[in-house]
Amino acid sequence: MSLKIVVASNNRGKLAEFSQLLGERFKLLSQGELQVEEVEENGLSFVENALLKARNAALQTGLPALADDSGLCVDALGGAPGIYSARYAGAGASDADNNSKLIHDLKGIGERRAHFHCALVFVRHPEDPAPIICEGRWPGEIVDQARGDNGFGYDPHFYIPELKQCAAELPAEQKNRLSHRGRAVAQLVQRLQSEFPRR
């Protein structure tokens, strides 16, 4: 029997990635399906925000909860957009708006190193004193010209030098294996498998 976990996100792309990565062992439900009211993300780090979201979803559903907070950190911008990646160009900003602001802010700057960061938090219940926390990091560079039609967010501008491709040019399976989220989920799968062994 698969363990039900509520995913503290309404992002369909993210839910699809998690479902692919976690396989059939766990039944993932989005918090939207369960009418979970979103919590204010007022932490100052990816881990703090993921923990807020996971505890909130667990509290409102009575289920174990998984939350991630992830984003793009650009060295030349002091780590921005960072935890504000989804709303870099303002509340309700589209991916195109955020990408446009990013390229604008990097105008004239030669140093383009960046990384995607993912903090994944799993709580067994809302007051879980020992949440499972896994983090992944994916290094790359920012390019002005968008490339590729896969992925979402900043993927079309996130260039991986060793592959000579942007994240949005990679097939989903390859991206899921290499990405910040893929790296964090790989750790999480190991932790969950030892915690919830097959019977």
Only one residue has tokens 């505890």, namely: 55
Per-residue pLDDT tens digits for 127-166: 999 999 999 999 999 999 999 998 889 999 999 999 999 9
Confidence band, pLDDT 50/70/90 cuts, at residue 20? confident
Q: Is the pLDDT of residue 11 over 90?
A: no
DSSP per residue, 15-67: HHHHHHHHGGGEEEEETTTTTPPPPP---SSHHHHHHHHHHHHHHHHSS-EEE
Domains with residue ranges and CATH for the chain? 3-195 (3.90.950.10)
Only one residue has tokens 């989005």, namely: 30
Q: What is the distance between the alpha carbons of residues 187 and 198, in angstroms, rounded to a whole number?
A: 18
Are the CB atoms for 119 and 70 separated by under 8 Å?
yes
Q: What is the per-residue burial (b if ≥16 Cβ within 10 Å, else e) of 172-181?
A: eeebbebbbb
Q: What is the pTM assigned to this prediction?
A: 0.88
CA-based nearest residue to 166, from 183, 177, 179: 179
CA distances from 142 to 30, 60, 81, 155, 190 (A): 31, 39, 12, 10, 32
- List, in order, residues 6 or more apart from 23 with CB less than 8 Å away: none
Q: What is the pLDDT of residue 199?
A: 59
As annotated, the active-site residues are 69
Cα dihedral 134, 16, 5, 72 sign: positive
For residues 18 and 36, the model is more confident at 36
Q: What is the distance between the alpha carbons of residues 170 and 155, in angstroms, rounded to a whole number?
A: 9
Q: What percent of the chain has pLDDT over 90?
A: 72
Classify residue 2 by its DSSP letter: P
Only one residue has tokens 């991630």, namely: 68
Cα dihedral 55, 198, 16, 100 sign: positive
Q: What is the pLDDT of residue 85?
A: 96
Q: What is the pLDDT of residue 65?
A: 96
Mean pLDDT of 105-127: 96
